[in-house]
Amino acid sequence: MTYQFIELDIKDYIATVTMAREKSLNALSLEFASEIAGVFKTLGAMDEVRAIILQSKARIFCSGLDLKDAVGGFDGTARGTFNIIKKSQPLFDCCNSIEECSKPVIAAVHGKCVGGGLDIISACDIRLCTEDAIFCLKEANIGLVADMGVLQRLPLIVGQGFAR
């Protein structure tokens, strides 16, 4: 298993998945999201893995959606909008594959965890954070909808009051 943006280590039945798209602070491009989905589907089927730790090699956990990648090819037409929605499937698969993984997934969060990063950790079974961890969902500020599952998952984690 070779990945461009992920480092994988399996030792003593524990898989450590390290997001290593450091220059972009682990911004979620479509290719990066596909790798995340693929590694979790693979690890979920492996007998030699009993638990998975998800961590970041960058100075923060995740800077959210890679906006340059997300709007690449958008031409402003209705067809272009449909194509972007269709092209965005890896982003949904990324979070769903973590949530559906048959092994417990532990997110080890440090620094900022923005937008899509919050979607990712909300799909994990356990979240452990450093004291400097900061969480933010700013999609509405730039005219986007947080639709990778965080709006459905977050209230189940922190309760309705805190989520609102």
Digit-coded pLDDT (tens) for 51-108? 999 999 999 999 988 877 766 655 666 666 666 667 778 888 999 999 999 999 999 9
Q: In this structure, is residue 67 part of a structural domain?
A: yes
Residue 72 domain flag: yes
Q: Are 60 and 112 in contact (CB under 8 A)?
A: yes
Domains contained in the chain, number: 1
In order of 22, 25, 55, 56, 101, the CA distances from 61 in angstroms are 10, 7, 7, 5, 20
- pLDDT higher than threshold 60 for residue 2: yes
SS3 state at 54: strand
Identity (one letter) of the amino acid at 46?
Answer: M
CATH of the domain at 44: 3.90.226.10
Answer whether residue 146 is part of any domain: yes
Residue 159 in domain? yes
Task: Give a yes or no: residue 127 inside a domain.
Answer: yes
SS3 label, residue 1 = coil
What tokens appear for 128 in the block? 């452990």
- Write out pLDDT tens, residues 119-153: 999 999 999 999 999 998 776 666 555 567 666 77
Specify the pLDDT at position 65.
87
Residue 51 in domain: yes
Tokens 């909008």 belong to residue: 81
- SS3 (DSSP) at 72: coil
Of the candidates 5, 61, 60, 1, the residue with the CA atom closest to the CA atom of residue 30: 5
Structural domain of residue 92, as residue ranges? 6-163
**Any domain includes 1:** no
Quick one: CA dihedral 120, 13, 126, 60, positive or negative? negative
Predicted confidence band at 32 (pLDDT cuts at 50, 70, 90)? very high
